[in-house]
Homo-oligomer: A and B are copies of this chain.
Amino acid sequence: MQCIDKRTEVMTVAMELLAENGFHRVPMSMIAARANVAVGTIYLYFAGKDELITELFKEVENKIATMVREGFPTEGPIRERFLYLTGKILRFLIDNPLSFRYIEQFMNSPYGISMRRDRFLDKTGRNDFFMALFEEAIADRVVKDIPVIALFSLTIAPLIFLVRDHILGFVTLDEALIRQTTEACWDAIKR
């Protein structure tokens, strides 16, 4: 009833529908119907479909950042911190397939492309755990001497593919395999 409730409800419903069906397969009217809200109401909180989609992405991003932050060891061997970080992300994505599907959709859409570009150009802030970790690792000369972004791709890409395979049922990411694959990622970048 409260405006904040409606906004939240729209976002929840939109996340589900968009993640499962793809951005352009979900009309605004469908979101409105499932959220028990009038179509026009959505436009009170979001300038348009694009903004809704972007807003949803930011939400997931924050959720992940928050989740990673808590309990993240700021000290100790880099390798251990790396494994902690990758393992945590892996588990989060496995436990939240909806978020994963959404991120995938988003990254492979014009929204994601331009967002990546914006972020790459604008280095301000970016409380990115990976980047921080990699920079420290480079300083310590424990990882290969290649561009940070390459280190990033060597790490994050396999994780994403593995989660996708897991969700599609092609492989089962249990704790043992999580350990093995994250260690493999480390092997890829370690000097």
User: Which B residue sits closest to A23, measured CB to CB?
Assistant: B24
Considering the chains assembled together, what is the distance between the CA atoms of A157 and B159 in angstroms?
8
Please choose the segment from A55-63, A91-99, A109-117, A131-139 that sits at the chain B interface, where 4 or more of its residues have CB less than 8 A away.
A109-117
Residues of chain B within 8 A of A22, CB atoms compared: 109-110
The docked-state distance in angstroms from the alpha carbon of A184 to that of B185 is 9
Q: A104-B108, A105-B108 are in contact. Are A181 and B154 (CB under 8 A)?
A: yes
- Asked if A156 and B150 sit within 8 Å, CB to CB, the answer is no
| A81-124, CB < 8 A from B | 104-105, 108-110, 113, 116-117, 120
Given A180-B144, A184-B144, residue A170 in contact with residue B108 (CB < 8 A): no
Residues of B within 8 A of A105 (CB): 108
Counting chain A residues whose Cβ lies within 8 A of the other chain, the interface size class is: 35 or more
A64 at the A/B interface (Cβ < 8 Å)? no
Q: Quote the shortest CB–CB distance from A168 to chain B (angstroms).
A: 7
Closest residue on chain B to residue A104 by CB atoms: B108
Q: Is there contact, CB below 8 Å, between B180 and A162?
A: no
Are the CB atoms of A154 and B120 closer together than 8 Å?
Answer: no
Knowing that A116-B168, A120-B168, A149-B165 are A-B contacts, what are 19 other residue pairs whose CB atoms are under 8 Å apart, sorted by A's residue number? Answer: A22-B110, A24-B24, A25-B110, A113-B168, A116-B170, A144-B184, A146-B180, A147-B171, A147-B177, A149-B170, A150-B165, A150-B177, A150-B181, A154-B162, A154-B188, A157-B158, A157-B160, A158-B158, A184-B189
